[in-house]
Amino acid sequence: MKQYCVTIAREFGSGGRLIGRRLAEELGIDFYDRELIALAAAETGFAEDYIGEVENEKTSRLCFGPYAHNFPIVTAFNTGQSVSAQEQVFLAQSAIIRRLAAEKSCVIVGRSADYVLRDKICCAHVFIHAPLEYRVRFAQEHYGETRSDLDAYIKRQDKRRSNYCRYFTQRKWGASHNYHLCLDSSVGLDSSVRILENFAREFLRRLS
């Protein structure tokens, strides 16, 4: 089978990470999500815990637009430009994502990988969503969430992801035209994995 990549963007609590991991297992290819934190730590010299914190910081609207328009510019460390820690992490992870996609077939979750790999022909982009009530239940069952304001917390996480996407890519997070497939994961984990596996194989077959 020809080398390819599947990127997965997802709403919080939709099960996108678990679906992505199981999809990679079914396809027999590598999976990257939090693994990218370790790779970015080696690239930047930042501690893994710090990168995790940086990824969750609020993004400013003020200074990163030029990078989004001129992307791929993934060597800002060497240009003498002044960039924030969050921007350095994004640039490092973007370089890593492009390198991984060039080297092997893989599933990549999050980090605006759909945008980073937008010029890669053999790359299928997926957005996973689900009704809020399903995501509340999923977070309770799979993440062990017990907070009383879980529905509000989920909305805040979605807002953070939306802001991250807009800040670094100037795209609207979850807009269907940015993806090859949008999937409602409330059909169930097994069904979601099966749908994506069939889609990935058909996507690749049509490019062969």
Listed by start position, the domains of the chain span 5-207
- Residue 76 to residues 25, 81, 90, Cα–Cα distance (Å): 35, 6, 11
pLDDT in tens, 64-80: 444 443 444 334 444 45
Rounded to an integer, what distance in angstroms lies between the CA atom of residue 162 and that of residue 160?
5
- Residue 72 has what pLDDT? 40
| CATH 3.30.1330.10 describes domain 5-207 | no
User: Radius of gyration (Cα) for the chain, nearest Å?
Assistant: 17
Residue the block writes with tokens 């919080």: 12
* pLDDT in the model for residue 51: 83
48 falls in which pLDDT band (50, 70, 90)? Answer: confident
pLDDT digits (tens, 9 = 90+) for 138-177: 999 999 999 999 999 999 999 999 999 999 999 999 999 9
What does pTM read for this prediction? 0.86
